[in-house]
Amino acid sequence: MVALARVIDSRVLVQLRLLGMAGLAFVVVGAFLVLFGKNPLLAYAEIFRGALGTSYGASEVIVRAIPLMLCAVATALPARMGLVNVGPEGQLHAGALAVTWGALTFGALPRPVFLPALVALGLLGGAIGAFVPALLRVKVGVNETISTLLLNYVIVLLVEHMVRGPWKDPMSFNWPYTPEFPDAARLSTYWGTRIHAGLWFALAAILLFYFTLRFTRWGYELRVIGDNPEAAGRAGIPIGRYTLLAMSIGGALAGLAGMAEICAIQGRLRPGISTGFGYTGFLVSWLALHHPLGIVVMAILLGVLSVGGDSIQISLGLPYATVNIITSLIFFIVLGSRFRRRATA
């Protein structure tokens, strides 16, 4: 009985402590808002009202949670074997590049062939974007944290180049974007909102992530590597192969997010298809400690903050950066406490 109480105790306590620490971020930012003569309570109320108070707001939360979930899994999968993939942003854009190439090249295909082909291209593009740093790590020992981070800039700039140069829509009056994709290349949206079929991809990715880790030999071996690479190597688990695989699959999912963004939301490739979904997804993964259910919860939470950030901008004249600051403070506090516990435990 006592023992049982203790088990529950410790689990609940950890969660409560995390929440409490997240609350701390709101207090700190609140103090600053007061300093600048704004009422923090009003601001926070507006964030949540804007995000959850209307059906439009709520649907937008889902719309933003979709790429966040995919990018979070892109970070979480390699993270479970001890790799730090900071590159979902770049991998998302790599997927978008591949998809755009397909959409512009095979414009006349029927939808049932066209869409799956674009999905495959999105996966492939993202996978290549992550395979390169993975290969660099395995072959020459380049740290993947740095290489994925740097590749983000390269790939995003490549997108800029393509939409201003080779792929620019001739009818665009010099705006930097590609021609609009044919209808057959568009993902369905539902319920008169912008919620789109990417939601199924995201949920499937989360489920698959959970199932693979827990119930397959692959997931098992991946977890062993993450827990003790030395023992994994001695047990004959091919760490290099897993590095390539986990990074590529992660990258593929981020690429899928890119596909969904351009085929559902934008309808074409242009700069700014992602408002930092890759980076925020990375954050979601770490906040969720790379656990599937936590990723869903955190993606929605950050979706709320993001939609709410828009609405405080509009109705209170506060900068959007306010929610960025809240998010990063939560991040620092949660991670900081993780490392502190590591150090003492």
Least Å from the CB of residue 68 to another protein: 27
Q: Could you tell me the smallest distance in angstroms from the CB atom of residue 10 to another protein?
A: 6
CB 85 within 8 A of CB 252: no
6 near another protein (CB under 8 A): yes
Is 15 among the residues that bind another protein (CB under 8 A)?
Answer: no
3-state secondary structure of 196: strand
Cα atoms found within 13 Å of the Cα of residue 245, Cβ hemisphere only: 11
116 contacts another protein (rule: CB under 8 A) = no
130 closest CA partner among 97, 92, 99, 102 = 92
Site string for another protein, 285-324 (x = CB under 8 A): ----------------------------------------
For position 218 contacting another protein by CB under 8 A, the verdict is yes
Shortest distance, CB of residue 248 to another protein, whole angstroms? 18
Nearest CA to 251 among 240, 243, 263, 261?
243
- In the complex, the smallest distance separating the C-beta of residue 58 from another protein, rounded to whole angstroms, is 37
Query: What residues contact 140, with CB distance under 8 A and at least 6 apart?
Result: none
**Piece of 149-157, 191-199, 217-225, 310-318 that binds another protein (CB under 8 A):** 217-225
Please identify which residue in 227, 275, 314, 340 interacts with another protein, judged by CB under 8 A: 227
The first and second tokens of residue 323, run together, are 């929610």
Residues 297, 307: contact at Cβ < 8 Å? Answer: no
Taking the C-alpha atoms of residue 331 and residue 328, their distance in angstroms, rounded to an integer, is 5
- What does the binding site for another protein look like in residue numbers (CB under 8 A)? 2-3, 6-7, 10, 214-218, 220-221, 223-224, 227-228, 230-238, 344
